[in-house]
Structure 1
């Protein structure tokens, strides 16, 4: 029987974060990072972790309103100040093998109207200070996962037509649905789903296309060269500590590293981008030789330009991800205004740093650069997929092979099995 009450679903969701998200082993340690509104969920996650045999559970809460207070009332010195020990605790936890659970639920427009230069300046400094930890986690030094929490501020933005209580309930229903927490056996449902994603990555890794060509009715016509020796990933990943975890809940993408110098054409966003507490809408970017050379946005263009100016690699791509239009997030019909969810409703690209795990020997910076992998302080996903998108894989001899038609995969488990045979 499916879980019948909110409390049942929330408890199953907490179990998912521990058992599927980080796959916490007996004796494992976990660090939970969450908004202050998530305390009830965090308590359930902690209980699930201890039931799994956790040796330690550490929790850090955040209040995003403190960021707005800093930007509006803080001095320039306060905006620029970062203590030297800022990332030391998390770095020590990585070294000690802690798993990381991050729960998101921020107001996507919290920093609307705030001085963009101040936000950009501090965001860049924070990224630099946390770079070592960020690279260690994204490079799967340890098992980690990111999941959502229906906070009132986020729910009001997603469902502005509903009273707050109804908006929160509706958002929770969508979260439970797309993470399979509403299924009779969520863990079994995830096992089946992860198997399908594994077949797709096996197929694409066997093919080793030199490029992808993406076209949509919105105007996207983009050729994305792929890094030499690229690796497709998706679903569950095995961390370097040997634990197989699922970094994103939900997840319906398979993704890899573009070649930083071989991206050409136009990319048009199919959904708004929520970044740095602001919404950027109507994005249209033209790439030439891998670099964004023309940039437009109907709203938030200055924020987008600030992102691209972060460093030399910010104007190049670090990820290309394919997602079917029939993915559960897309089927909700909800625009979540949150990248974790919206990126799993549509194929997307990311400005900035690539994941070293997407390139053979990518943990070696020189090998990563030689293969065409991109480096930057940022990694910002934005959605370009549509229900009419076509995607072709381009082989080394220039042949085009259909991967997606009308937003859906035209290769699958059978093709994967044939490619592996």
Structure 2
């Protein structure tokens, strides 16, 4: 299914554009054993680009599922401290990180939600420094995706497995622009367009956004020092990188206690190998005070109770309904792709760089600026063809941002 030339180009995108690996820099690759061919290609491309050292942090999805299902409950809090220590040390020394995902949206279907929550919480605590370095933009990181038969069957249930897998890979290639004649240059043009949009938004300094759609009526205040971002970021050394490939969004952070009203999802949320769908969240002074779901309500409640900040928003992102990824008409049931086909929010932690000088502030100072803090950062999609959004300036001027799901 994968042509060697396609994997080489994809690996080159992740190394040159994704993390923008510099000569002499180390690279960490986090991946499951399902991604072996892609991992090997990334290792090769990284060394060709001048990497000093490439470390692969392997995991096995099936082993993880078996452990969550059958291990003694008291052992679920165990974490390999040495493995975590080595990973964080490499990042603190300036290593870039590429995560290669092999999604299996129903991997943990049937596993007790409380056991999943235990493992998720303890891993979140163990990797807190990892997330601080990544979410703070201090190191370069990027995400790649390789399709799996399990994922393909869920996205294209009417096709035979081989055809479903091939169609999913073709859809991914369109989404990540791998089908373009010069994908790297195409990405550079696309990033420039996103940066023009963020400049326009930052010039207007909106005080709040107002959302209206079937099942949605929500007011979202923005911190006074907020910054819109899109496309890529600069790490602590000033090197530009693309965290997400694909990316169609421009995003910022909401004011932690400034969200009021209700919002309904427009695409399924896949979290820890389980699906949550048909859900409505009601906010009061920033916090979710009511959560209902047609599918996965117990998991949704568990997610919202993960820690004190899990029931507050950490990200607001704008994505037009008329975009290459959205126009594919494919519901990937994977956040990396579905969030880039739809306006979305994220429950949990805010990115520090979404306020001026946020990367240099302490956790307490970021909270004072209105940024949420949490062990989690979970995106959920709310964009659709009926979505209207207004931006309201500090002096009360109302400027249409979205009409009918697209930029106004």
How far apart are the structure 2 equivalents of 1:89 and 1:153?
A: 32
Contact (CA 8 Å) 2:104, 2:151: kept in 1 or not?
Answer: yes
2:294 corresponds to 1:298: yes
Partner residue, 2:404: 406
Q: Pairwise CA RMSD of aligned residues?
A: 1.4
1:361 is displaced (CA, Å) by: 2.8
2:334: which partner in 1? Answer: 338
Deviation string for 1:110-166 (max 9, x for gaps)?
111111111111211111111111111111111110121112222222222222211
> 1: CA distance between counterparts of 2:2 and 2:220?
46
Contact persistence 1:361–1:368 (CA under 8 A) = no
Distance in 2 (CA, whole Å) between partners of 1:156 and 1:208 is: 44
Deviation track 1:52-78 (CA, whole Å, cap 9, x = no partner) reads 122211112221111221122110122
- Show the counterpart of 2:179: 182
Counterpart in the other structure of 1:352: 348
Equivalent residue runs for 1:14-413 within 5 Å: 14-216=11-213, 218-363=214-359, 364=361, 365-410=363-408
Whole-Å separation in 2 of the counterparts to 1:247 and 1:211: 26
- Kindly state the Cα deviation for residue 320 of structure 1 after the two structures are TM-superposed: 0.3
Query: In the alignment, is the contact (CA less than 8 A) between 1:348 and 1:384 conserved in 2?
Result: yes
How far did residue 10 of structure 1 move?
2.3
For 1:24 and 1:378, locate their aligned partners in 2 and report how far apart those are by CA, in whole Å: 27
Task: Output one character per residue of 1:208-264: Cα deviation in whole Å (capped at 9) or x when no partner.
Answer: 111111112x32111111122011111011111221000000000011010011101
Q: Quote how far apart the aligned CAs of 1:5 are.
A: 8.2
**Residue aligned with 2:358, SS:** coil
**CA distance, structure 2, for counterparts of residue 238 and residue 80 of structure 1:** 35
2 CA distance for matches of 1:118 and 1:160? 29
State the number of aligned residues: 406
Q: Equivalent residue of 2:261, what SS?
A: strand
CA contact (8 A) 1:70 1:78 kept: no
Equivalents in 2 of 1:156, 1:5: separation in Å? 18
Equivalent residues of 1:64, 1:106 under 8 A apart: no
Q: Secondary structure at the match of 2:76?
A: helix
Distance in 2, matches of 1:387 and 1:148, equals 27
Distance 1:166 1:14 in 2: 24
Q: Tell me by how many angstroms 1:378 deviates.
A: 0.8
* Preserved CA contact (<8 Å) 1:209 1:395: yes
Instruction: Tell me the distance in 2 between the aligned counterparts of 1:86 and 1:44.
Output: 23
**Shift in Å, 1:200:** 0.8
Aligned equivalent of 1:413: none
- d(CA) in 1 for partners of 2:39, 2:84: 22
Residue pair 2:317, 2:343 contacting (<8 A) in 1 also = yes
The answer to whether the 8 A contact 1:254-1:323 is kept is yes
Contact 2:216 2:262 in 1 (8 A): yes
Counterpart CA distance in 2 for 1:85 and 1:34 is 18
- Say whether the 8 Å CA contact 1:35–1:106 is kept in structure 2: no
TM-score by length of 2: 0.97
Q: How far off its partner does 1:28 sit?
A: 2.0
2:103–2:147 Cα contact (<8 Å) kept: no
**Structure 1 residue matching 2:30: 3-state secondary structure:** strand
Write the deviation string for residues 2-42 of structure 1: whole angstroms up to 9, x where unpaired.
xx983322221111111111111222221111121111111
Tell whether the 8 Å contact from 1:318 to 1:374 is kept in structure 2 after alignment. yes
For 2:14 and 2:79, the matched residues in 1 are separated by 31
| TM-score of the superposed pair, with normalisation by structure 1 | 0.94
